[in-house]
Amino acid sequence: MKEIFSSERRQDERVPIESLVTISDGRRFYVESLTDISKSGAGLEALQEFPSSSRLTIFFPSNSRVKIKGIVRWVWKKGHMYRMGLQFMNMTPKQKNSIHGFIHELNSAPAI
């Protein structure tokens, strides 16, 4: 059974994941680690620091055509990496369905 994280401040449950994603700050593309995801945001671990309030676009591994814009809500340094919380912004119904399907796939995958 997969562990689901929750917090009083979060609206949606987070599902832990270890996956590479491509993110863009509008100038460059970076391949970083997705650490968790919910219907409203994602956790990222990156070598590159993106300051709080940075606007990013995230491209998901299951469908690179699906891209979602978000805003960095918090950042903290973890060793030589940066841990960030990204809140999804202005999602279309298609994007919401893609995230829902991605989370469903994660929850349905057999535990290792």
- Taking alpha carbons only, the member of 12, 6, 19, 16 closest to residue 107 is 16
Six-digit token string for 32: 């970083």
**What CATH number should be reported for the domain holding residue 26?**
2.40.10.220
pLDDT of residue 70: 97
State residue 63's pLDDT score.
61
pLDDT truncated to tens, each residue of the chain (112 aa)? 344 444 445 577 889 988 899 999 999 999 999 999 999 999 999 999 999 999 999 997 766 677 999 999 999 998 999 999 999 999 999 899 888 888 877 777 666 5
Which domain does 78 fall in, by range?
A: 15-91
Tokens of 81: 């990496």
CA 89 to chain centre: 12
- Is residue 44 a part of any domain in this protein? yes
Residue 97 lies in a domain: no
pLDDT score of 101: 83
User: Side-chain half-sphere of 88: how many Cα atoms within 13 Å?
Assistant: 24
First CA to last CA across the chain, in angstroms?
9
In a domain, 27, yes or no: yes
User: Is 103 among the domain residues?
Assistant: no
Q: For the chain, how many structural domains are there in total? A: 1
pLDDT at position 3: 42
Tell me if 83 is assigned to some domain.
Answer: yes
pTM: 0.82
Beta bridge partners of 69: 57
Tokens matching residue 48? 């590159």
